[in-house]
Chains A and B, each alone.
Chain A
Amino acid sequence: MDQTSNTEDFIRQLAEHQNRLYGYVYSLVGDHSRAADVVQETNLVLWRKIEEFQSDKPFLPWAFAIARFQVLAHLRDRKRERMLLDASLVETLSAEAEEQASQIDSVREALRLCLQRLEPDHRELIERRYFRSMSVADVAEALNRTVGAVKVALLRVRRQLAGCVQKRLAAES
């Protein structure tokens, strides 16, 4: 395979797997902007290692391995900041995170359908908290409810959504 089409193929694969990489990294760092940074760093490292890329080999396991190193490096570099997981937990969770993240497209799709089935005020909670990134306190203020009440409601709706998504994923396989 000549270099141009190899490069082309690499870029295409990289683009195709962005969401999966994001899902993997987010699940381990638990923060949107940090996860976006780590994915971008992962893209760069993959690019630098393009010689190791062979288009007939599965791309994703290779990319996940690099992403895991980047997550660990991120923990190491930011010792002073609060992190959700420590390095040993990242190692423990990594394999299952890979497996779940490879299905993120199915999760998204199930999520869309599950969102349709929520009560309108429940959906509004999810909208505000996750799609508009409002804090719990802001949501409470906007809806004229107490922080405690919003927390309880959010936990309940999240659980409902998670249950619905898992059911659909199970139905798919």
Chain B
Amino acid sequence: MNTDRIEELESLLLAWEDGTLDEEGIELLRAILRTDEKARTHFLQMQMLTAAMQLEGDAGLSLPPVDALRSDAGPQATSNARSRDRARRAYRLAAIVAGLLVCVLGGRLAWLEFGADPVTPKEAVATSDGLPTVSEEEPTARGIALVTKLVDVEWADQPGPVEVGDALTPGTFAIRSGFAQIEFFCGATVILEGPAEINLESPMLATVLSGRLRAHVPPAARGFSLDVGDMKVVDLGTEFGLSVSPEGADVQVFDGEVEVQNRSDERRRVTAGRGLVRKPGGELEETAATAENFVDFADLEARAQNQQNSRYARWQDWSESIRSDPRLIACYMFDEPESRRRVLESSLLPTNSELDGAIVGARRVEGRWDQKGALEFKRPGDQVRVQIPGEYGSLTFACWARIDSLDRWYNSLFLTDGYEEGEPHWQIRESGEMHFSVRAHERKTNKPPHRVIHSQPFWEPSMSGRWIHLATVFDIETGRVSHYLNGRVLDRNTIPENLLPESTRIGTASIGNWSVPTKPDASFAIRNLNGRIDEFLLFAAALTDDEIRDIYEHGKP
């Protein structure tokens, strides 16, 4: 490429954009384009970049001005930008429709005017919907407490089930039955026994509306307090129990002491082994403590262990049955007993050791349960090499993963070596979106290689270190691609027919990384996952939503 001409082209183009290019300049620019093919390609690339910047500007997604960084950035800003983007798209769609309406007569659009809105913004957006703007500020997370254990929990009515590892923001936390352990950011730990409802106020304060709880408050968290109606229980560094019902409130101290303040500002100290009952009328009465009425931490630990054992056993039963599903073309349960062999045994039945994976670099670690294995991918070379022969149609990928962070542009779940016609790539982008693509045309054609289908961003740093279930279903008949997180659909989109391959194939591939067959000593793109995988299934079929949900339900830790 003649760099002088390219440079000339670029400055002519800049002048054109600025409205300062005269006739002579325009003629010069055209002459370059007429005579130089490389210049034409470069010109279009520059134009596409400018168009993309215009679209970004229109979408109101420009970065925060350098000189006025907003303070509310972080995930919030991202989702604001996203909803703004979505709103604008919806607006744009409305504008298109309105523009069309102006020149259309009659009832052809009656459904638009009288029917229910047939095109929701969510469906109407293109694949670029909701790309996150990567925040320039340091990421922030919100919350005043963490959920650290959930045993046999049935949820009362509240938005969405909470999971272990979730941060709780101020607001209601209610369970119908079972036990929840909550660690406040001040250092106090509370076990809640259902049915119970509390209101989280701050890292140092919660209001107990009903139910039974035990609180452990180490010296560093001294001053942690619980409100019960108009009574306040201030902990002076101890362990105590509290039970609240319509009949009144009952505070019992097992260790150390607490101070109870009531409406008339009366303060009473309660020491270890003693309790205080507040009658419905408000009067206080001393009692002896009965610690056995409150579940303690060791007991909860044992219950949690039991729950884990039974869930693991349930998963084992299920995994035995799924292994012989005729649609499976690869199945790795990562559950073989600890061995020195650097082999990831194929779990497919009937057994076929040809499908065994070769472990490179990745370490054997603990999986979803203490009793179960997993592999940890950390370094740029860590991966499992597999070889899966055959030619297929639809595909379903499903795996349990624990992502520590998204360090690379592309973080691999499963990538075929290279990327030839019919070969799928399944990975996560640094923006936290799932990314599925399958190459449609041979490399030598100059047709576009594929249509990438990504999900909305699903991963954020607060999910770091938590086991999640990821799945993607590709239906070759309809071109439809569905992405799933924890058994629920994240997004669906369709690959247009002209970008669908005739069939799919795998050949040699890597779990958790990308290996491009290159010349010796050539450099390679770094796409290793930073995290763990402890179950990987690949079906030569498009599974249904219910089937994906079933895999998740049987495998959740």
Residues of A at under 8 Å CB distance from B?
3-4, 7-8, 11-12, 14-20, 22-23, 26-28, 30, 32, 35, 40, 43-44, 47-48, 56-61, 82-86, 89, 92-93, 96-97, 99-109, 111-113, 115-116, 120-121, 123-124, 126-127, 130-133, 135-137, 151, 154-155, 158-159, 161-162, 165-166, 168, 171-173
Contact = CB atoms under 8 A, between A and B. Distances in A.
Interface residues of B, number: 80
Contact of B48 (A14, A104, A132): A104
Q: Which 8 A-B pairs have the closest CB atoms?
A: A27-B47, A105-B128, A131-B62, A26-B51, A131-B57, A130-B53, A23-B51, A16-B126
Nearest to B104: A47
B48 A100 contact: yes
A93 B36 CA distance: 12
Contact of A136 (B14, B100, B126): B14
Given A16-B126, A44-B99, A121 B66 contact: yes
Contact of A84 (B7, B10, B29): B29
Given A126-B53, A165-B49, A40 B16 contact: no
A123 B65 CA distance: 9
Given A3-B108, A116-B134, A133-B57, A124 B100 contact: no
B419 A19 contact: no
A111 B134 CA distance: 11
B430 A113 contact: yes
Interface in B86-145: 89, 92-93, 96-97, 99-100, 103-104, 108-109, 111, 118-119, 123-128, 131, 133-134, 136
A127 B65 contact: yes
A83 to B, nearest CB: 8
By secondary structure, the A interface counts as helix
A53 to B, nearest CB: 13
A168 B52 CA distance: 15
Given A26-B47, A103-B448, A135-B18, A171 B131 contact: no
A69 B452 CA distance: 29
B34 A131 contact: no
Contacts of A171: 409-410, 525
Contact of A96 (B41, B410, B447, B450): B41
A158 to B, nearest CB: 7
Contacts of A22: 51, 54-55
A43 B99 CA distance: 9
A158 B14 CA distance: 10
A159 B543 CA distance: 45
A9 to B, nearest CB: 10
Interface in B62-94: 62-63, 65-67, 89, 92-93
B66 A84 contact: no
A126 B54 CA distance: 11
Contact of B131 (A30, A101, A112, A155): A112
B62 A127 contact: yes
Nearest to A172: B452
Given A19-B128, A109-B128, A155-B7, 8 more contacts: A7-B109, A15-B93, A15-B119, A18-B126, A19-B126, A26-B47, A101-B48, A137-B18
A16 B48 contact: no
